[in-house]
């Protein structure tokens, strides 16, 4: 399903819930004309009328009601998924072990270490300062993976 088709279904659901094109347009932040055109495209693509239109309101047809029953739970799931992800805790956690030279420690790491630790209190940083190249020492009982 293309993004435009999903957008048409979103417009359809807004009209079905609002009962009119104008309030659905306000809710979606588009013009009533755009809503009308979107509904027209959807009905043409599905080859079925979804609404009975009068000058004052719109009412769902039987096909429209069936579509609402299918579409509403899908959009609710998408909304819930979006909410869940947006509430995800994005704090940096874990542990890192690095080996740096004395000059790198003094010039690069020391100036930012305090603010890094304040910003990421759940992140453990082990720094080994050595003036020779090599990997950080391994701890006993904690093999490297």
Are 7 and 72 members of one domain? yes
DSSP state letter for 47: T
Give residue 103's pLDDT: 87
Percent of the chain's residues with pLDDT above 90: 50
pLDDT confidence of residue 45: 96
Better pLDDT: 1 or 66? 66
Range of the domain at 114: 91-145
pLDDT at 23: 95
DSSP character for 139?
B
Place 136 in a pLDDT band, splitting at 50, 70 and 90. Answer: low
Averaged over 79-90, what is the pLDDT?
Answer: 80
Decide if pLDDT at 90 tops 90.
no
Judgement on whether residues 96 and 80 belong to the same structural domain of the protein: no
Nearest Cα residue to 100 out of 130, 123, 75, 80 = 130
Over the Cα atoms of the chain, what is R_g? 29
Residue 118 has pLDDT above 80, yes or no: yes
62 and 130 co-located in one domain? no
Does the pLDDT of residue 47 top 60, yes or no? yes
In sequence order, the 6+-apart residues with CB closer than 8 A to the CB of 16 are 51, 60, 64, 68
Per-residue pLDDT, 41: 97
Is the backbone of residue 91 left (phi > 0), alpha (psi -120 to 50) or beta? beta
Please name every residue paired with 124 in a beta bridge, in sequence order, or none if there are none.
95
For residue 110, the domain's CATH number is: 3.40.190.10
* Mean pLDDT, the chain, integer: 88
- 52 lies in the same domain as 100: no
Residue ending a domain, among 86, 114, 132, is 86
Residues 53, 20: one domain? yes
Residues 108 and 62 in one domain: no
Give yes or no: residues 82 and 100 share one domain.
no
């Amino acid at each position: 399903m293309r993004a435009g088709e999903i957008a048409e279904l979103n417009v359809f659901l807004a009209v079905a819930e609002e009962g009119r094109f104008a309030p659905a347009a306000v809710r979606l932040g588009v013009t009533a004309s755009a809503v009308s055109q979107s509904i027209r495209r959807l009905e043409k693509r599905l080859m079925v009328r979804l609404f009975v239109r009068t000058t004052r309101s719109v009412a769902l047809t039987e096909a429209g009601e069936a579509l609402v029953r299918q579409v509403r739970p899908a959009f609710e799931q998408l909304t819930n998924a979006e909410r869940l992800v947006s509430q995800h805790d994005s704090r940096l956690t874990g542990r890192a072990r690095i080996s740096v030279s004395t000059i790198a420690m003094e010039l690069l790491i020391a100036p930012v270490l305090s603010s890094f630790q304040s910003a990421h209190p759940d992140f453990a940083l082990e720094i080994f300062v050595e003036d020779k190249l090599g990997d950080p020492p391994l701890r006993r009982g904690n093999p490297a993976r």
